[in-house]
Structure 1
């Protein structure tokens, strides 16, 4: 099975505590996910819930072709104000390991996402990744960056 690695960085002009508070709330993920994905957290969490090791988060998503599916991730590691990791327990990928890193820098925070993923179905999965999936994953993170910029008043010129 071929594993793919993507890395994304984003600088935010807000304090680390505010950044951490936003990204560790499971319900905020829907706010930065492309609307066409129909992303909905189905776990019984509220706006005050924060990630913790062992937390299971369930979702409904529509990743491709309007097909709705269930997705479950587990928060496997948390180091306060530094990083947390979510891993798929079931869903559309053969592997999904997503590291969220936060580093305080002058004027704000540098966020880094490191994503490892794999597509099932062997050679067909490799082909699907090269034709479609890699592009869709990149679109998700591009949308996320734009949504975050709008939410936190970051304007790139």
Structure 2
């Protein structure tokens, strides 16, 4: 199984507490996900993030293809980091770390995703042709939306 890595770093013009409050709430995920992804939370207990929390949603990564995705929040250190892992969904492996570090004039936010696709050679081809580009597009959109939400007041 080939495991891929996607990493992004962004400065957020906010306090660590403001940044944490926004990004640790699953309710805000839709705000920073492209509408073209058809992202919709289908089950979430509405509580503040905690280890063991299950979040279920649907996504449409490709025209008309609707997929169910279940993630578990596996680790949380308030105002510092959290990790979500796919339990059921389109990837054979998905591990997403979200780090938040105060940097003197805001927050350095780092996302690190490790992922793998099913189907061996076909999965590797799909990554090269579609998935890698789709993830790049999603994270580029996220950077833009975070800039609009937090950094427009600079």
Pick the TM interval, shorter chain: over 0.9
Q: Which residue among 121, 129, 148 is the counterpart of 2:127?
A: 129
Tell me what 1:32 maps to: 32
Report deviation, 1:51.
Answer: 1.1
Moved more, 105-114 or 59-68: 59-68
User: How many corresponding residue pairs?
Assistant: 154
Q: How far apart, CA to CA, are the structure 2 residues paired with 1:16 and 1:153?
A: 14
How far apart, CA to CA, are the structure 2 residues paired with 1:90 and 1:30?
Answer: 19
Structure 2 length-normalised TM: 0.96
Shift of 1:10: 0.4
Q: Is the 8 A contact 2:101 2:108 kept in 1?
A: yes
CA distance in 2: counterparts of 1:54 and 1:131, whole angstroms: 34
Are 1:146 and 2:151 matched, yes or no? Answer: no
* Structural mapping, 1:95-134, within 5 Å: 95-134=93-132
Distance 2:152 2:132 in 1: 26
1:136 alignment partner, SS class: helix
Moved over 2 A (4+): 153-156
Q: 2:151 and 2:119 mapped to 1: Cα distance?
A: 42
SS in 2 for 1:100: strand
Alignment-derived partner of residue 67 in structure 1: 65
Counterpart for residue 8 of structure 2: 8
Q: Distance in 1 between matches of 2:44 and 2:34?
A: 22
Shift of 1:77: 0.4
Residue deviations 1:1-29 (CA, integer Å, cap 9, x gap): 10001110000111000000000111100
Unaligned stretches of 5+ residues in structure 2: none
